[in-house]
């Protein structure tokens, strides 16, 4: 999706909202509508209770209406199971025990306790949930011990004789049935806690992913701000330095050679327009969503135009190029352009008594298999070839040096922001390269950058495309 279309959609949703939108099916609907889910659970409990009501009426007659308040109390307690999970579970346990004492064959027995146990596992974890829920379920099941007194008062239940077909009049068999039922109830309660704990772990993992996405987004924003700052520094520092030199030159030659002064002023105006166009391209990516690949290109499409601009500013520049042509890769070309631009701008700003500036671009191609075989025939192993620099991966070596006077330490305060050399190092690092900047052995200042260019047109296009896509994503 392009930047323009994303802008038309309005503000971007937060990571939590996006995570909820991505969930599909019943589970996603339940997460997006917690109140409806709560109402459905309460309705399920009450419907199950009403379904068992006719059999309770057959067993107990009018005494069955004592069950209704207990069902309503448990339904009301389920509304607060997420807010106070442990307290609600204990309260439901007491209500379930009371209902079992009134009617041991209560239809929805332990169903409310299972819902509450799930929430304890969800909010407190597996260990805490089992410690609380299992004893609560076992304590509620102690009400089955009142079965003999209930049978003596109401007789055999229809559940006992009709549904489960237990031997009539054999109380021992019925008690064994309830003992097995108790084990089943305790097991299912623990299973409910385990389900809640599993959902808890899933949500915790999801939260970790969302936190990682937030941090990655923040780092991407910081990286984008640094990239924009680096681009703006390259544009402003270079253009202003050239413009200042041209303005100083025009002031000197204005009286002696007005025609030459006019040419210098024309170059000054052209440099200013070029700088303005560069700034518009960089800022256009942020404001209008313009093409990133187009914005990455400098206004000077060729290095010759860059050299000519410095020569117009009065720099005695000599350029030497060796080896094959540089790869036709927009990102790599921008890296070479910016390194040369920053190095020559620093010479223009800080150089004193300069009579010669040397620029050297050496492209060392990759060593072919035939050349490696020839070196092997001469007795050099592959490791020796790499160590001695006789063979290896392709390299582009950029060197900028001048013969200016070396000033004493601290004699001239830097007027820059310190982003120039750091920006060159960051650009070179993307191509597994390095940059050295420091005083020469006898005079002047030297800058030497070593880069590994992309190999092949396919890899170059892929690298450029990946750069553009990553910047659009940021």
Where does residue 197 rank: exposed (0-12), middle (13-18), buried (19+ CB within 10 A)? buried
Q: Mean pLDDT across the chain, nearest whole number?
A: 76
% of the chain at pLDDT higher than 90: 15
Q: Which of 2-16, 50-64, 342-356, 441-455 has the lowest mean pLDDT?
A: 2-16
* pLDDT beyond 80 at 277: no
Domain that includes residue 341, residue range: 315-406+417-474
Residue 350 CB partners (closer than 8 Å, separation 6+):
412, 414, 445
**pLDDT band with cut points at 50, 70 and 90 for residue 458:** very low
- The predicted pLDDT at position 276 comes to 72
- CATH number at 363 reads 3.30.565.10
* pLDDT beyond 80 at 283: no
- The predicted pLDDT at position 383 comes to 77
- Look at residues 188, 217, 246 and tell me which one is the last residue of a structural domain: 217
Cα angle 424, 449, 425; round to 5: 25
* pLDDT beyond 70 at 324: yes
- Look at residues 198, 217, 236 and tell me which one is the last residue of a structural domain: 217
In a domain, 160, yes or no: yes
Q: Which of 66-80, 149-163, 200-214 has the lowest mean pLDDT?
A: 149-163
- The predicted pLDDT at position 272 comes to 73
In a domain, 234, yes or no: no
* pLDDT beyond 50 at 173: yes
pLDDT tens sequence across 296-313: 555 445 788 888 878 877
| β-bridge pairing 317-322 and 395-402 | unpaired
Mean pLDDT of 16-29: 59
308 or 245, which is more confident = 308
- The predicted pLDDT at position 194 comes to 93
Number of domains into which the chain is organized: 2
Residue 433 CB partners (closer than 8 Å, separation 6+):
449, 450, 451, 452
In a domain, 5, yes or no: no
Mean pLDDT of 427-445: 84
Do 210 and 329 lie in a common domain? no
Q: Which of 242-256, 408-422, 460-474 has the lowest mean pLDDT?
A: 460-474
- Look at residues 172, 190, 217 and tell me which one is the last residue of a structural domain: 217
In a domain, 310, yes or no: no
314 or 120, which is more confident = 120
Do 48 and 196 lie in a common domain? yes
pLDDT tens sequence across 402-435: 988 765 554 444 445 556 777 788 878 888 888 8
- The predicted pLDDT at position 213 comes to 79
Contact 108, 52 (CB under 8 A): yes
Do 202 and 329 lie in a common domain? no
Q: Which of 2-16, 20-34, 59-73, 294-308 has the lowest mean pLDDT?
A: 2-16
In a domain, 335, yes or no: yes
Calculate the alpha carbon distances from 31 to 37, 39, 143, 212, 338 in Å.
8, 13, 36, 22, 51
State the Cα–Cα distance between residues 5 and 29, nearest whole angstrom.
28
In a domain, 289, yes or no: no
Do 205 and 320 lie in a common domain? no
Q: Residue 132's CB: how many other CB atoms inside 10 A?
A: 21
């Amino acid at each position: 999706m392009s930047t323009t279309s994303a802008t038309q959609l309005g503000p971007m949703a937060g990571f939590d909202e996006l995570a909820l939108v991505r969930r599909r099916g019943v589970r996603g609907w339940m997460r997006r509508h917690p109140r409806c889910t709560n109402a459905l659970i309460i309705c399920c409990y009450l419907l199950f209770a009403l379904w068992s009501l006719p059999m309770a009426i057959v067993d107990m007659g009018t005494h069955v209406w004592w069950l209704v308040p207990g069902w309503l109390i448990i339904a009301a307690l389920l509304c607060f199971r997420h807010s106070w999970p442990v307290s609600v579970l204990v309260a439901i346990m007491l209500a379930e025990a009371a209902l079992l004492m009134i009617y041991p064959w209560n239809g929805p027995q332990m169903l409310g306790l299972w819902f509450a146990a799930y929430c304890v596992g969800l909010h407190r974890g597996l260990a805490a949930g089992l410690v609380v829920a299992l004893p609560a379920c076992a304590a509620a099941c102690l009400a089955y011990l009142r079965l003999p007194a209930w049978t003596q008062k109401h007789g055999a239940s229809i559940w006992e004789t009709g549904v489960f077909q237990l031997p009539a009049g054999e109380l021992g068999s019925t008690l064994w049935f309830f003992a097995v039922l108790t084990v089943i109830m305790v097991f299912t309660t623990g299973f409910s806690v385990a389900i809640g704990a599993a959902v808890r772990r899933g949500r915790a993992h999801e939260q970790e992913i969302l936190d990682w996405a937030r941090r990655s987004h923040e780092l991407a924003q910081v990286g984008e701000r640094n990239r924009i700052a680096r681009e703006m520094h390259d544009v402003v520092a270079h253009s202003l330095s050239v413009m200042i030199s041209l303005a100083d030159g025009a002031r000197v030659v204005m009286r002696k050679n007005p025609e030459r002064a006019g040419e210098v002023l024309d170059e000054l105006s052209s440099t200013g327009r070029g700088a303005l166009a560069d700034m518009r391209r960089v800022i256009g990516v942020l404001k209008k969503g313009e093409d990133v690949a187009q914005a990455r290109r400098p206004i000077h499409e060729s290095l010759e135009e860059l050299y000519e601009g410095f020569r117009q500013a009065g720099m005695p520049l000599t350029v030497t190029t060796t080896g094959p042509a540089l790869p036709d890769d927009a990102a790599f070309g921008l890296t070479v352009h910016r390194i040369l631009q920053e190095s020559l701008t620093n010479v223009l700003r800080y150089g004193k008594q300069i009579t010669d500036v040397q620029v050297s671009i050496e492209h060392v191609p990759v060593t072919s298999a035939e050349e490696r075989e020839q070196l092997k025939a001469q007795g050099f192993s592959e490791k020796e070839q790499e160590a001695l620099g006789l063979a290896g991966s392709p390299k582009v070596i950029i060197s900028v040096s001048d013969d200016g006077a070396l000033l004493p330490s601290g004699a001239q305060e830097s007027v820059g922001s310190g982003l120039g050399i750091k920006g060159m190092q960051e650009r070179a690092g993307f191509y597994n390269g390095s940059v050295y900047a420091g005083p020469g052995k006898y005079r002047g200042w030297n800058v030497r950058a070593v880069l590994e260019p992309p190999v092949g047109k396919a890899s170059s296009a892929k690298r450029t495309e990946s750069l553009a896509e990553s910047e659009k994503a940021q």
